[in-house]
Each structure stands twice: as C-alpha cells, then as structure tokens.
Structure 1
Amino acid sequence: MGNLLSYSGISAKIRAMQSKLITEEQLLEILQLSDVPQVIAYLKRTPEYEEVWKDLDENSLHRGQIEKLLKTSIFHDFSRIYQFANKEQRKFLELYSKRYEIRVLKEIMTDLFDHRDTDPVDITPYCEFFRKHSRLDLDKLTACTTMEELIAALKGHEFYQPLSQIRNHENALLFDYGMALDLYYFSQIWNVRKKLFSGNDLKEITTAYGEKFDMLNLQFIFRSKKFFHMAPADIYALLIPMNYKLKKEEINALVESTTYDQARALFRRTYYGRKYEHLEAHNLEEFYNVMLRDTLEKEARRDPYSVAVLYSYLYHKEHEVYRLTIALECVRYGVDPQEALQYIRNN
C-alpha cells in the first residue's frame, strides 16, 4: 500500500508522458519523408514536440540546432518528473542525473583531446538542467583549455578524485578518463542501492543495473579480445568491479582465455549464454540494447508503482532522441526507409 500511495501520482504523470513518445510506426513515417524540414514539420505536429516547437521555422533550422532541441527535451522531461517526485523518488533521480553530468564532461574532454580551434562545447541544451540539478559550473569547465585545468576546476566535486587518478598515469587517453568516470558512477550505483531502496524497488534496481553491468563487462571483454588483444591485467583494470548473474570465476575464465574463440565457447556456459540461445559474442552490443529495454518494460509493467517506472521512462526518452537523431541523418542522406529502420532497431 505504501508504494501504491507514494507512486500513484508520479506513475500517472509518467504514463501520460509515455503516451506522447514517438512510436516505431511514426519513425517509419519519418523515414519516408524527403528532407529534414519535412521531418521537423512532422515532429511539430506530434504531442511530444508540438508545444515547445510550434513557433520554430523548420526551413531555417540546421542539423546542429535540431540535435540541441532534441537533447533539451530530455532534460525538460527529467525536470518535469523531478518536480512531481517525492523525497525518496528524488534520491534515485539525483543519482540517475549524474549520467548527464558525465555526458557533458565527456564532450568537454573530447574537445580538449582533439585540440579543436573552434568554439567551446555548446552548453545551451544543458544550462537549465544544470542550474537546477547540478553543482558543476559549466561556464568554468568549458573555459578550460587543458585536462589539467579541467581537473583543477573540478576540485571539491566528486568527479575530481577519479579523474585526478588517471592524470597521474603517463600517456593517459580520452578513453581512460571516460572509463574512470563510468566506473565511478557504476560503482556508486551498485554500492548505494541498498541504502536508497528496499523491497520491490531494490529488487528492480538490482535487476536492471545488474544485467546492464554484466552485459557491459561482456562487451568489453570480447572487444578487448577481438580488436585490441589486451593483456588480462589491463582488461581487469577496466571492468566494472561488480557482478550479477556472471560469476567471478566465469569472468576470470573469460578474461584469462587465450583466444577470442575460446572466450566464445566459455560464454555459452554462462547464465546469458544459456538463457539466450541466439546470443553470440559478435551481437552482444545489439542484444544489450534490446535486453535492457525489455527488462525495464517488464519491470515497469510488473510493478507500475515502483522506481522501475522512473528508470524505464528516462531510458525510453533518451532512446527516442537517439533514434530520432539517426532518423534525421538517414533522411538527410537518402537512406532507404526499411534499411534505416533496421539500423534504428539495432541501436
């Protein structure tokens, strides 16, 4: 009864928002349009975008502006849910929002590593969100011209420690800094989940994130074997330091395997290899997206008065923006609609 009372209002709010998301049928209609202005005109007629986009001139918008508008819609929806959430629900949302902070830091770091002589990262899609939900000073961070400056600007923030540890490594790459932030975030989620959640909420968060972390580790192990031929010690250092359905001994066997084919054979004996017969090492990345989406939908349907409904909506909203961005590119370059839809389904 407690969950029903605490989640009834926000669940109704999210169901209403969910009903406005772009469907696959609408995506197919979009992919059959002849140019990008027609896509914008189409989106302006949808419930999700009509109110905010109604005054825009589709013929004057360029690709970068459209992507900014789509990104902004993610943060707008997050803020709407946050305003409606109670104290306990906001604890999850505040934890979840760190992924947005990491996303922006990665964009800034990419510019620094590329030594771009262009304007700093465009922070306009993030400004309102960061003003309300973050302690990061975006103006200060985007003004940095080196990684040393960026890390120094983060002093006093929780991301300072993981990034400063990487800075001490000679020849650290952009990948290393990004992985340090991801590992910090994933570890924090796993370590604090029992403090923030209980009952069904704890079970659903553990399932959703547990399978996600297992699949990310599997992806990284197989990519490192197939493309980078990394030593086991280097692979261990970059894995998410937790396991759910993957046993520690199975992870060790996969990492220590001497060949990619040997790792594939070992994978067939794991929980995921046994449960999903059609799952192979080569399609892990594609299957990961499908599995996470299905897990979140199943948990949200099973218990619509739980934290799963928050996680599920935020995931689907981000996925919608990603799919629309791909659809815009496919229309722009005249990709066959069926071919484009298949590509979208796989991402």
Structure 2
Amino acid sequence: MLDNYSSNATTAKIRAKYAQLFTPEEYREMAALRTVPEAAEFIARSARFKEAFTEVDPNTIHRGYLEELLYRENFETYIRLCKFQGLDKEPFFGFLIRRSEIECILSIINRINSSLDRTYLSDLPGYLIKYLSIPVMELSNSQTYEELVAGLKGTRYGKVLGRIPVREDGNADYTECELRLRTDYYAELLEQADKEFGGAVSDELKTMILREIDCRNIINAYRMKAYFGFEPEEIKRRSLKFYGIGKKNMERLYEAADAEVMMDMVNHTIYGKNSPDTDNIEVEINSVKIRRLRHYLTGSTYAPVSLYAFIQLCDIDVSNLVTIIEGIRYGVEAAAIEAQLITL
C-alpha cells in the first residue's frame, strides 16, 4: 500500500505519461491530413502510441481496428499504472474495469432491444475479457432482458437491473438501465473514496468525481431541452442525483426556459468560466473540465487523484483522435474537424 497514498514514483510516472498526450497543435496538424493511412502514420510516430503500432502497418490498417487500437492502449496504460507499486490492491482502482463492464452490459441491452443481440460477439473488445468480473461472453448470448438479468445474478449489476420493470414486449427501458447502473457506479466510487483514503485524498477525489457528474448532467440536460423539449421534472428524473455545484444550482439549470437560457446560466457557473466560444455543448463543458483535470494532475501529490484525472484526460485525447479520423474518412474540412475537438 502506498504510504499515505502519496508516491513520488507513481505521480512522476503519471506525469511523464501525461506529457505524451497530443497537443492542440498536433491535433491541428493531424486534422489537415487527407487520408486515414496518413492519420494512422501520424499517430504511430507519437511517443504515446509508438509501441502499440510495433506490429501494425499504418498504411494498411482498417479504420475500425485503428480506433480499437487507441482504446486498447488507453486501457492497457491504466492497467500498467494500477499495477505499478500495487495500486490495484485497493478496490477504488478498479474504476475503469467497472465502467467497462457497464458499457458491455448496456451494449447487450441495446442489442436485445434492437433484436441484434447475437451480433455483440463480433465487436466485443477482446482485450477487456480477462479483466472483467462478469461472464460477458455468456451474457452476450442472452435473447431477452430477463435472461441477461439471470446471468448477472449475484452481482451488483444483477441487483440493480432486477429492480427495473420489464415492458410488455419483454424489454427494459435502455435509458432507465443506464441511469441506474451509472448511479450505482458513482455511489460506489464516492463511497470507496471515503472509506479507502480519507482526508485530503478523499476530498480531492470526491470533488473531481462530482464535477465529472456535473458535466455529464449539464450536457444531457441541454440535449433534452434543445432536441427533445423535455420538461424540467423529466430532466430531473433522468439525471444523476449527485451534485458538485449543489442540488439547487443544478436544478435551476434544469428549470431554465429553454436551452439557450440554460447555457447563459451555465456561463455564470464554474463550468462557464473561461470556456471557449462555441455552439457545441460538449466542447464548451469538457474544455473547462480539462482545465480542472490538468490542475489536479499537476498539482496533487496523491497517486489516486493523479491517476483518476489522467485516465479522464486519456479518454478525451482518444475521443479527439477518433473525431479527427472520422472527419478525415468523410472528407470534412480541417477547420470543421478542429471545431469539434475538446481542448483548452
């Protein structure tokens, strides 16, 4: 166990990895490329992904496999950092594995609801399987929601999903499943931050986690207002019940007359401070999120805080790379691609 959960070696290793993330200038250079092989070659030359491309030819790699390679390197970086100095001995550090399990379960639910459940096997990330605590291969064969829940018996996920009523068509509401699984995930994460660490480590972790949830809630609330015209009470029902800026402040955003008014209100919170001038809600909110994550990563001496912040930054980095790859694939102009990227 790390002494007081602080380790110069661990935080130094994480910061060295952080220095390998792509810069805005590198995103801009990559967005100007015109073919996916060119983009693959650009990524393959980077310090962050050089080893991942050791046995891969960037000139012939399939776009889908290229993107999987990026996600896999993110996950394997997390595994390597967790094993360094035994971080993985504490339950909290399983956060990305648990998040991956939820994504797998939600994918299976979506395919069951769409009558495409059997095809899940073809795109199951193989590198995940040995780390998961659930029998995902067997679960992917579930023909109904009830079969899936039965296969999850004895797990937290089975308990959560078992409380959701099945509709007349035999399926369960996907949005409700996602909401309850993510609620349980964050509740466990916040509890672990309290029990396993305490003091300043716990305070920093909980603040970071609650701000992550705020960003998710704000983005989802905006979409519900702008694209679906949901009423405030429905938005509240569909949102996670954890608050970094406080319940009253968040619910004021939900109660805004429309999406435009809501965003004007957001701009007067910590999530609008020094945000970029853009009409893209995800870019605006997540750009502010990046600033806070970088603050925690470079300012904290605690390994749990540094690792949690770093993995979120890795997620954003790969999301940007995938956005660029997809933009190049469809012939989108470089400026339009850049406008979709989440940077400072």
Q: Judge same fold: TM > 0.5, yes or no.
A: yes
What are the equivalent positions in structure 2 for 1:171-320 lying under 5 Å apart? Answer: 172-246=172-246, 248-255=247-254, 257=255, 259-260=257-258, 264=262, 267=265, 271-272=269-270, 276=273, 284-320=281-317
**How far apart are the structure 1 equivalents of 2:312 and 2:218?**
21
2:130 equivalent to 1:131: yes
The count of corresponding residues between Structure 1 and Structure 2 is 341
- State the Cα distance separating 1:213 from its structure 2 match: 2.2
* Residue 141 of structure 2, aligned match among 143, 150, 170: 143
**How far apart are the structure 1 equivalents of 2:260 and 2:16?**
48
Q: Is the 8 A contact 1:112 1:146 kept in 2?
A: yes
Aligned twin of 1:72: 72
- State the Cα distance separating 1:346 from its structure 2 match: 6.8
**How far apart are the structure 1 equivalents of 2:264 and 2:313?**
33
Q: 1:34 to 1:225 in 2, by over 3 A?
A: closer
Q: 1:17 to 1:124 in 2, by over 3 A?
A: farther
Aligned twin of 1:156: 154
- State the Cα distance separating 1:190 from its structure 2 match: 2.8
**How far apart are the structure 1 equivalents of 2:336 and 2:226?**
27
Q: 1:211 to 1:89 in 2, by over 3 A?
A: farther
Q: Is the 8 A contact 2:179 2:239 kept in 1?
A: no
Aligned twin of 1:94: 94
C-alpha distance after superposition, 1:5-27 (max 9, x if no partner) = 84212112212222322222222
C-alpha distance after superposition, 1:252-278 (max 9, x if no partner) = 5555x48337973994697548x7387
Q: 1:100 to 1:286 in 2, by over 3 A?
A: same
- Which segments of 5 or more consecutive residues in structure 2 lack a partner in the other structure? none
- Which segments of 5 or more consecutive residues in structure 1 lack a partner in the other structure? none
Aligned twin of 1:45: 45
- State the Cα distance separating 1:327 from its structure 2 match: 0.9
AA aligned to 1:245 is: I
- State the Cα distance separating 1:284 from its structure 2 match: 4.7
Q: 1:25 to 1:265 in 2, by over 3 A?
A: closer
- State the Cα distance separating 1:96 from its structure 2 match: 4.0
**How far apart are the structure 2 equivalents of 1:117 and 1:88?**
33
Aligned twin of 2:342: 345
Q: 1:249 to 1:64 in 2, by over 3 A?
A: closer
Q: Is the 8 A contact 2:117 2:141 kept in 1?
A: no
Q: Is the 8 A contact 1:254 1:266 kept in 2?
A: no
Aligned twin of 1:321: 318
Q: 1:260 to 1:26 in 2, by over 3 A?
A: closer
AA aligned to 1:163 is: L
AA aligned to 1:336 is: E
Q: Is the 8 A contact 1:141 1:153 kept in 2?
A: yes
C-alpha distance after superposition, 1:72-120 (max 9, x if no partner) = 1122111101110435874331134311211222222222222238732
